[in-house]
């Protein structure tokens, strides 16, 4: 006899879909304010791309001033207390780096959700969005032969790809203007037993390994070997000569001109961000499956190259492959407001700003081995309306699917900014429910007041 799926009906005030940096922030902050919150995640763990060992970039702006506070800083402080983060240090290339431990992130996220009383549902994917006119009535999830129907007052889409907004019929943009080319996804992996001192000695004797032939990459002389020696929280981008040599010989297994590792919290441990799956749309299940497999299968060849050719890596070994490919870019949805290249390059901080972004424009090419890196002098602001759907009355976005153009996206996609958006979405959603006011008519000055009370940074004038 064929069995029916088990049907479960649940209700909450705020449903957060996707448990990456934005979703964790949104769920915990909403629950802390007394709301009944559900966080639904397709994986067995929380953290999204942050749980692959990436270092949140640009907690500090170009001048070294904190431009992110609130929940995001709280999350890092808790990681540091548990020795799961090396804390934030200045970086001449990325403004600042905050190295973390991938497993610590997962544990910390579970802990904070539990403490705040978030109802976490794992192993569940969005299946359907049930609409009535312009209102999202409920969302159905599928998990282990269960169909779970969740009714909420407000839904916050933190899936990165905006899967809920997509199913709800919202309009979106994808990729670079004209070409639609998407930044490529990357399979992250962890190496252990790296002899960093030996590696640094090699780099010191071969400065060309830190010199860029690609003029599109922003170069900073202070990003030198002394920087890596003096700052444990660092992201290494280099080995240009080694990669160029292998490219010329036809033995480079990856589509990149440089090697990137993020320092781990344990001695000899680094997280490698050097696989690049070009011509991939991670919302296409065929592309996604291919990228997961082919990306993972590039790892042995890259590790062989490092072991044989790069001093310090002779005895390294792969201790983990990230459980999910890291997706840089897919859909960006239509909001009441849209963050643009002009805003980012001119440091526009509008009066309805709910968080700041101090990072640079950082666009990995999706169809070759290039990288577009452009400095921005001043932070820019993300307006509340960029988190509010222009089409569905009770739907918000936080994280990489918010309303922006492809260039501004190159900056605002960083983890601290995504967490700050999640925090702001939670405050905005809570206020809208408390006051029975539609999101579109939310009192943004009151949202900003509450965010300030919760130590969010909304203007650099407040920062010494
Ligand atoms: C390879 C790579 C390197 C990067 N390097 C850096 C860096 O060094 N520093 C930095 O600050 N930023 C970096 N970024 C950017 C940053 O990691 C992301 O932009 C950020 O994690 C986005 O956060 P998010 O919460 O919006 O989405 P994600 O981190 O993508 O999280 C989305 C979550 O939603 C879940 N989800 C997705 N679809 C569904 C569904 N249908 N149903 C249920 N759950 C779902 C996912 O499993 C995931 O947990 C990098 C990104 C990548 C991919």
Sequence spans of domains, the chain: 6-92+99-180+329-462, 189-321
Mean pLDDT, residues 397-424 taken together: 98
pLDDT at residue 464 in the model: 47
pLDDT at position 214 over 80: no
Ligand 1 atom index nearest CA of 49: 29
**Whether residue 54 has its Cβ less than 6 Å from ligand 1:** yes
Residues 350-354 have a mean pLDDT of 98
Q: How far is the CA of 430 from the centre of ligand 1 (A)?
A: 24
Q: Which helix (H) or strand (E) holds 163?
A: helix 163-167
Q: Which residue, judged by its Cα, is nearest atom 15 of ligand 1? A: 414
What's the pLDDT score for residue 370?
Answer: 78
Identify the band that residue 217 occupies on the pLDDT scale cut at 50, 70 and 90: low
128 lines ligand 1 (CB under 6 A): no
Instruction: List beta partners, residue 151.
Output: 11
Q: Enumerate the β-bridge partners of residue 164.
A: none
Closest listed residue to residue 318, CA positions, set 328, 304, 335: 304
Beta pairing partners, 63: none
Does the pLDDT value for residue 411 go beyond 70?
yes
- The encoded tokens of residue 337 equal 């407001």
User: Of 64-68, 104-108, 175-179, where does mean pLDDT reach its minimum?
Assistant: 175-179
Does 273 sit in the ligand 1 pocket, CB within 6 Å? Answer: yes
Kindly state the average pLDDT of the residues 29-39: 98
> Which of 94, 96, 127, 159 has the most ligand 1 atoms within 8 A of CB, as the residue to mutate?
159
pLDDT at 15 over 50: yes
Q: Looking at 172-239, list the stretches that DSSP marks H as alpha helix, in order from N- to C-terminal side.
A: 196-205, 225-230
Residue nearest to atom 27 of ligand 1 (CA): 160
Do strands 146-157 and 395-397 pair parallel, antiparallel, or not at all (unpaired)?
parallel
Percent of all residues in the chain with a pLDDT value above 70, rounded to a whole number = 98
Give tens-digit pLDDT for 237-284: 999 999 999 999 999 999 888 999 999 999 999 999 999 999 999 999
Do residues 278 and 366 make contact, with C-beta atoms less than 8 angstroms apart?
yes
Domain covering 6-92+99-180+329-462 in this structure, CATH number: 3.50.50.60
Nearest CA to ligand 1 atom 20: 415
Of the candidates 79, 81, 168, 220, the residue with the CA atom closest to the CA atom of residue 395? 168
Continuous segment of H or E residues that includes residue 80:
helix 70-81
Please give the distance, rounded to the nearest whole angstrom, from the Cα atom of residue 22 to the centre of ligand 1.
8
Q: Residue 262: its pLDDT value, please?
A: 98
The predicted model gives 441-464 an average pLDDT of 91
Over residues 136-169, the pLDDT tens digits come to 999 999 999 999 999 999 999 999 999 999 999 9
* 53 touches ligand 1 (CB under 6 Å): no
Give me the pLDDT at residue 463, please. Answer: 56
Please tell me the residue having the least CA distance from ligand 1 atom 38. 159
Write out pLDDT tens, residues 18-27.
999 999 999 9
Residues in CB range of 93: below 8 A, 6 or more apart = 218, 220, 223, 235, 237
Q: What is the mean pLDDT of residues 400-426?
A: 98
CA-416 nearest atom, ligand 1? 11
Judge if the beta carbon of residue 186 lies within 6 A of ligand 1: yes
Contact status, residue 29 vs residue 326, Cβ threshold 8 Å: no
Kindly give the distance from the C-alpha atom of residue 417 to the centroid of ligand 1, in angstroms, as a whole number.
Answer: 12
pTM of the predicted protein model: 0.97
As a 3-state breakdown, the chain gives helix, strand, coil percent values, each rounded to 5, of 35, 25, 40
Gap from CA of 242 to ligand 1 centroid (Å):
30
């Amino acid at each position: 006899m064929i069995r029916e799926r088990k049907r479960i009906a649940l209700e909450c005030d705020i449903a957060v879909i996707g448990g990456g940096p934005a979703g964790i922030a949104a769920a915990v902050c909403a629950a802390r304010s007394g709301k009944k919150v559900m966080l639904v995640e397709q994986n067995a763990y929380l953290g999204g791309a942050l749980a692959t060992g990436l270092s949140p970039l640009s907690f500090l702006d170009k001048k070294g001033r904190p431009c992110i506070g609130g929940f995001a800083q709280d999350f890092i402080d808790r990681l540091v207390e548990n020795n799961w983060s090396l804390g934030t240090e200045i970086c001449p290339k990325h403004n600042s780096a905050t190295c973390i431990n991938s497993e610590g992130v997962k544990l910390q996220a579970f802990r904070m959700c539990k403490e705040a009383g978030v109802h976490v549902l794992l192993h569940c994917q969005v299946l359907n969005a049930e609409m009535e006119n312009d209102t999202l009535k409920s969302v159905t999830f599928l998990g282990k032969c269960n169909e779970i129907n969740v009714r909420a007052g407000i839904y916050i889409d933190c899936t990165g790809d905006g899967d809920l907004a997509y199913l709800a019929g919202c309009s979106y943009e994808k990729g670079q203007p004209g070409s639609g080319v998407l930044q490529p996804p990357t399979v992250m992996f962890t190496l252990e037993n790296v002899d960093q001192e030996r590696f640094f000695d090699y780099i010191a004797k071969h400065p060309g390994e830190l010199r860029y032939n690609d003029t599109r990459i922003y170069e900073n002389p202070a990003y030198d070997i002394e920087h890596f020696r003096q700052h444990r929280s660092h992201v290494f981008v280099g080995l240009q000569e080694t990669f160029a040599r292998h490219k010329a010989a036809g033995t480079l297994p990856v589509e990149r001109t440089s090697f990137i590792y993020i320092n781990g919290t344990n001695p000899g441990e680094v997280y490698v961000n050097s696989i690049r799956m070009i011509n991939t749309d991670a919302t296409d299940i065929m592309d996604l499956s291919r990228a997961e497999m082919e990306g993972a299968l590039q790892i042995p060849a890259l590790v062989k190259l490092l072991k044989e050719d790069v001093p310090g890596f002779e005895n390294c070994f792969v201790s983990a492959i990230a459980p999910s490919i890291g997706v840089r870019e897919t859909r960006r949805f239509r909001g009441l407001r849209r963050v643009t290249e002009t805003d980012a390059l001119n440091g526009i901080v509008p009066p309805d700003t709910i968080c700041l972004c101090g990072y640079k424009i950082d666009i990995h090419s999706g169809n070759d081995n290039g990288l577009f890196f452009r400095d921005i002098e001043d932070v820019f602001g993300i307006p509340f309306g960029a988190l509010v759907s222009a089409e569905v009355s009770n739907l918000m976005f936080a994280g990489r699917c918010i309303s922006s153009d492809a260039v501004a996206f190159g900056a605002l996609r960083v983890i601290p900014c995504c967490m700050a958006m999640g925090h702001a979405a939670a405050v905005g959603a809570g206020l809208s429910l408390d006051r029975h006011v539609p999101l579109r008519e939310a009192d943004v000055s009151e949202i900003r007041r509450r965010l300030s009370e919760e130590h969010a940074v909304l203007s650099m004038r407040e920062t010494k």
